[in-house]
Amino acid sequence: MVGLYLDPPKGALVLCADEKTQIQALDRTQPTLPMKPGKARRMTHDYKRNRATSLSAALEIATGAVTGACYPRHTHEQFLAFLNALVRAFPRKPLHVALDNSSTHSTPEVKRWLERHKRVHFHFTPAGASWLNTVEIWFSILTKQQVRQGVYHDVPELIAAIDHFIAAYNERAQPFVWTKTAEQVLAKAIKAQLTSGALHWQPAGAAERSRRAAMSGT
């Protein structure tokens, strides 16, 4: 995975994709008090839930730009709809997509879709290492700067705010820069797998093969 980010295949586009599910349209029970000299903006802790949406997003490693779409539910049908949107948004180029191991990413329907779209290649993060998917960093930015700061009377208003945030973010987007070496990142990933028990079943030499695969970008 790290090798894919640092040394992508020639002529290919690398995307980090995932879903942020159950984004609540929260309406505060009292009006928000605006910022004043010497006083921060104040919001009541009480709120009303106005249903939720699920955001699918893909972050382009080379530029930091984000492609996103909101859906009513988190299903493999929604994932397939987003994949179709991605191949339309990025025509002709090979697409290498980093994903976590969500069950919606590997259903029989998704596998058949991949067979029909030979230029799209999936790369799954190791178990317990979803932090390797850099779109998770962007989800954190979205949550802190938009979702938690807003007041939404209904889901369409929430979706409009998310769309506006993505458009504004892309105007100033910059790629995230890795500050750790591939060896340091891999060591953390293997430690997470050991902690979760994901590596306990592996035969002798499997960890070393995983290390070599990660370093080669597969």
* Residue 123 within any structural domain of the chain: yes
Report phi then psi at 2, rounded to 5: -65, -40
| Tally of domains in the chain | 1
* Residue 214 within any structural domain of the chain: no
* Residue 210 within any structural domain of the chain: no
* Residue 141 within any structural domain of the chain: yes
* Residue 71 within any structural domain of the chain: yes
Per residue in 27-70, pLDDT (tens digit) is: 755 455 455 566 554 455 545 566 889 999 999 999 999 999 99
* Residue 203 within any structural domain of the chain: no
**What is the distance between the alpha carbons of residues 50 and 11, in angstroms, rounded to a whole number?**
44
* Residue 138 within any structural domain of the chain: yes
Per residue in 198-214, pLDDT (tens digit) is: 433 333 344 444 444 44
In eight-state DSSP terms, residue 50 is E
Where in the sequence is the domain holding 169, given as residue range(s)? 2-179
* Residue 192 within any structural domain of the chain: no
* pTM for the structure as a whole: 0.75
CB within 8 Å of 43: residues ≥ 6 apart: 28, 32, 33, 151
The CATH number of residue 34's host domain is: 3.30.420.10
